[in-house]
Amino acid sequence: MGTDDFRAEARQLLERFLAEPQPTNDRELMLERYADELTMLYGRHAHALLTDVIEDARTRLDARLSPDPIRQTIATVQTTMQDLWNALWSSEPDRRG
């Protein structure tokens, strides 16, 4: 799961919200319901991302603590590639503008 997945699901939720008829007396109730759904969507995506990060960190830590020098070298290469990816990702221009 990534930013694009979250954006697509949030967009679907907002499309559903805008497509529903909005009588003035139920507007506040609808806003509350959709705010709750958006919060749950965010929670699911944040939890999935955190799980991925923890699993990746666990794998790297296991490799670095391994007595096998090959696994340690692979862990160093993975870390270097991750650092390179993060540097490229953080310098990517904003796609919305």
Q: Where are the domains of the chain?
A: 3-90
Query: Helix or strand or coil: residue 10?
Result: helix
Q: 77 Cβ partners below 8 Å, 6+ apart?
A: none
Higher pLDDT, 24 or 31: 31
Which region holds residue 66: left if phi is over 0, alpha if psi is between -120 and 50, else beta?
beta
Q: Say if pTM beats, i.e. exceeds, 0.75.
A: no
Look at residue 96 in the predicted model and tell me its pLDDT: 47
**Per-residue pLDDT tens digits for 32-88:** 888 899 899 988 888 888 888 788 777 777 776 777 777 777 777 777 777 777 776
